[in-house]
Amino acid sequence: MIKDTPLIFDGKELNNRLFLGTGKFKSKKDVAACIESSGTQVVTVALRRIDLNRYEDNILEYVPKEINLMVNTSGARNAVEALRIARIAKDAGYGNWIKVEVINDSKYLLPDNQETIKATELLVKEGFIVFPYISPDLYVARALVKAGAAAVMPLGSFIGSNRGLRAGDFIRALIAEIELPVIVDAGIGVPSHAAQAMEMGASAVLVNTAIATADSAASLAKAFSLAVEAGRMAYLAKPPAKLDHASASSPLTGFLFKDEK
């Protein structure tokens, strides 16, 4: 049986390739339950959901200490704002893993790729481990490699849409052409979408809305974790190519007809 190798970022080994977002959950306790059931090792959280002034329960109280925290720059409309959010998070003690999310399109919520490149360049120079969220574009991904990103995080489809890998062909191009890990983010709606992304060769999948809004969030988080594991195993096993014709699994042989004259 093929033995997998862990993902490694900043010297930290990740054996679970499901990343979990923390928005839209009915309660913070559901977040904790999903972390436990899925076995995720990476959780993303928007700085605006961290109660810096301690007026109410801090979401981080529900995230175990051993979990790798990735603060995202949700709400940033340009590179300057993303940089400001990242600095605040680091100064507050939330680490240097940053998911760069720059969006100024209020209708489709598509990331601004050019501002994302700028933000990545600036943050890498300040020592952040940067995970940029992008619309899948090979030229943009190459620019992010050059900028020093730790990975690229292309959307699978519109954020929160649960529509799956509508951008699958473009994601395949990124996987084939760049050396950084590709983490599929946004639009993943059911575990089969996650498995498909991993079968394509994605290094990990980030899921939020689908799990957070499920009737049983913890159960679906577990299902996603299993799907990611299955998809990864299938990718490593190198399944056979698709054919455009039939190929019998038990071909007819001459012995069936040996008594015929």
**pLDDT tens digits for the chain (261 residues)?**
888 899 999 999 999 999 999 988 988 899 999 999 999 999 999 876 555 555 556 778 888 899 999 999 999 999 999 999 999 999 988 889 999 999 998 899 999 999 999 999 999 999 999 999 999 999 999 999 999 999 999 999 999 998 999 999 999 999 999 999 999 999 999 999 999 999 999 999 999 999 999 999 999 999 999 999 999 999 999 988 888 788 777 766 655 555 555
In angstroms, the CA 221 to CA 208 distance is: 9
Q: Which residues pair with 206 in a beta bridge?
A: 19, 185
pLDDT at 259: 58
The pLDDT of residue 165 is 95
The closest alpha carbon to 228, from 199, 257, 261, belongs to 199
Per-residue pLDDT at 36 = 96
Known catalytic membership, residue 28: no
Phi, psi values for residue 184, rounded to 5°: -75, 130
Is the CB of residue 65 less than 8 Å from the CB of residue 41?
A: no
CA-to-CA distance for 13 and 26, rounded, in angstroms? 30
pLDDT at 61: 81
Distance CA 22, CA 35 (A): 10
Structure tokens belonging to residue 30: 């559901």
Give the count of beta carbons closer than 10 Å to the beta carbon of residue 202: 27
Cα-based distances in Å from 99 to 85, 119, 257: 11, 11, 65
The pLDDT of residue 206: 97
- Looking at residue 258, its pLDDT comes to 58
Active-site entry in 3, 26, 65, 99: 99
Alpha-carbon distance 188 to 178, whole Å?
A: 22
Does domain 8-239 correspond to CATH entry 3.20.20.70?
Answer: yes
CA gap 115, 102 in Å, rounded: 7
Nearest CA to 129 out of 175, 183, 171 is that of: 183
Task: Count other C-beta atoms under 10 Å from residue 129's C-beta.
Answer: 20
Q: At what angle do helices 138-147 and 113-125 cross, to 10 degrees?
A: 10
